[in-house]
Amino acid sequence: MSKRRITHRRPADGPDPEVVELLRDAHRPPDTPGYWDGLESRIMARVRSARDGAGRAMAPAVEWWQVMGGWIGAGTWAAAVAALLAVAALLQSRAAERRVAFTAVLEATSVVPTTLEAPAPGTPATAVAPGAGSAREAVLRHVLAPR
């Protein structure tokens, strides 16, 4: 042993072959038969598992704007139809209001007397209203009648 130490020459800071050999032995990979095939199988099993898991997780990972983008066409048509319907409803509503107002004016002229016929002397003055009068109209006529 001592003879080997004396004859052993190496650079001052170089690697010590004996230490290197010990380190190599200490870090030697397993040499069991089939070990590397088994390790490869385990690695590939993890890879497949990760890929399948990622595939399941990644498939529905669509951003919200992509979802909204798909609905832009349908949404535009729906909005246009809704706007048309709204305009039509508004026009119809205005026409109905106009018709009701016109009718109301016509009915009002027929119900509420605007002129009173001059009563004949000795007869009570009455407002002339065509058609059937209601109690309200009768009251009105009575109130408005000159005394």
Partner 1 sequence: MSAALRFEPLPRADVVVQQPTSDGESPRGPRAVTESADDRERRAEERRLVRAAQEGDDAAFASLVRAHQRRAYAVARAIAANHEDAEDAVQEGFLHAYRALDRFRPEQPFGAWLHRIVANAALDLTRRRKVRAAEELPESVASPFRDPAETSDLRRRLTGALELLGDRQRAVIVLHDVEGFKHAEIGVMLGIPEGTARSDLHHARALLRRALGAVRSDL
CB of 30 to partner 1, least distance (A): 7
Those residues with Cβ within 8 angstroms of residue 130's Cβ, 6 or more apart along the chain or in another chain: 110
Return the residue of 39, 88, 90, 96 that touches partner 1, per CB under 8 A: 39
User: Under the criterion CB under 8 A, does residue 108 sit at the interface with partner 1?
Assistant: no
> If DSSP codes are grouped into helix, strand and coil, which group holds residue 110?
helix
DSSP 63: -
Stretch that binds partner 1, among 24-32, 106-114, 123-131, 138-146 (CB under 8 A): 24-32
DSSP assignment of 12-71 equals TTS--HHHHHHHHHHTPPP--TTHHHHHHHHHHHHHHHHHHHHHHHHTT---HHHHHHHT
Q: Quick one: 42 or 142, whose CB is closer to partner 1?
A: 42
12 touches partner 1 by CB under 8 A: yes
Query: Of the candidates 5, 56, 136, 147, which one interacts with partner 1 according to CB under 8 A?
Result: 5
The first and second tokens of residue 4, run together, are: 């080997």
Contacts with partner 1, residue ranges (CB under 8 A): 1, 5, 10-20, 22-31, 36, 39-40, 42-44, 46-48, 50-51, 54
